A and B are shown apart, each in its own frame.
Chain A
Amino acid sequence: MKTITRRQLSREPARLKNIKPGESVLVPDAKGGLVVTRRKKNKMTAEQIFAEIERLSAGCPSIDTLAFLREGEE
């Protein structure tokens, strides 16, 4: 676990804001300190993502995206 002193925290508060999901940072003090944790985000599997894409695109027309987006481009 990373440690940030109170002095560092007062000078650079963004260091706590920028912690990653699942990461914890200890800010020590005389009473043992404060642990700041950002909760982990729920991971979505690729299959779940594609299932969501399927659901969102239901009823949409078939488009050859490569041909359509390249049309007239140079």
Chain B
Amino acid sequence: MRIYADSSFLVSCLYRPDPGHRGAKAFFLKHAAEEWLTTSWSQLETINGLRQLSRSKPGPPPALAEALRRLFKHWHEAGSFSLEETDADQAVNDAAQISAALGHRFRIRAADLLHIALLEQINPDLFVTRDRDQHALAAARAFNSRFVP
């Protein structure tokens, strides 16, 4: 099974003190043998999210984000994740169409639209998120989506 997780899930996976970490970790370990996909977009959003945590008061030291970034990279080279090549222009075009079709019905952030647009390209067997809005949007596009609280 090919699984694509968005950054809400990945950041929780990587940041241990997050209250959502336990659930994300449990879900990951249950499906550790599956093929986990990332895109350049999900990697960027995840790593940027980890860096942003340092702005919290109190927050982790900036060095933690870099250590987790290296570990996440290593997880790709020697673990369960693999980077899926995608077409960024196509994703933006698809995102614009999804916005036109569903923007009046769902609460959608532009950044999250890209994840759903990327689903059209990589067509995973399962999409995983910790974001209810994202889950609702993916389900509306008829993707097999799993909300991990």
Contact B75 A65 (CB under 8 A): no
1/0 contact string of A54-74 vs chain B (CB within 8 Å): 101110111111101110011
B44 within 8 A of A: no
Contact A61 B58 (CB under 8 A): yes
CA distance A44 to B7 in the complex (A): 22
- Nearest CB to that of B129 among chain A residues? A66
Contact A49 B18 (CB under 8 A): no
Stretch with Cβ within 8 A of A (4 or more), from B64-72, B83-91, B136-144: B64-72
Name B's A-contacting residues (CB within 8 A): 7-8, 11-20, 25, 28-29, 32, 49, 52-53, 56, 58-61, 64, 67-68, 71, 74-75, 77-80, 109, 111, 130-131
Which residues in A have their C-beta under 8 angstroms from that of B77? 41
Which residues in A have their C-beta under 8 angstroms from that of B64? 56-57, 60
Contact A65 B49 (CB under 8 A): yes
Name A's B-contacting residues (CB within 8 A): 41-47, 49-50, 52-54, 56-58, 60-66, 68-70, 73-74
- Nearest CB to that of B63 among chain A residues? A56
Whether A46 contacts B28 in the complex (CB less than 8 A), given A60-B64, A65-B12, comes out as yes
CA distance A64 to B59 in the complex (A): 11
Given contacts A46-B28, A69-B7, 6 further A-B contacts (CB under 8 A): A42-B78, A61-B56, A61-B59, A61-B60, A66-B8, A70-B131
- Nearest CB to that of A74 among chain B residues? B109
Q: Quick one: which of A44, A46, A52, A60 contacts B60, CB cutoff 8 A?
A: A60
Rounded to whole Å, the gap between the CB of A48 and the closest CB of chain B is 9
Contact B79 A44 (CB under 8 A): yes
Contact B32 A44 (CB under 8 A): no
Contact B17 A69 (CB under 8 A): no
CA distance A53 to B29 in the complex (A): 14
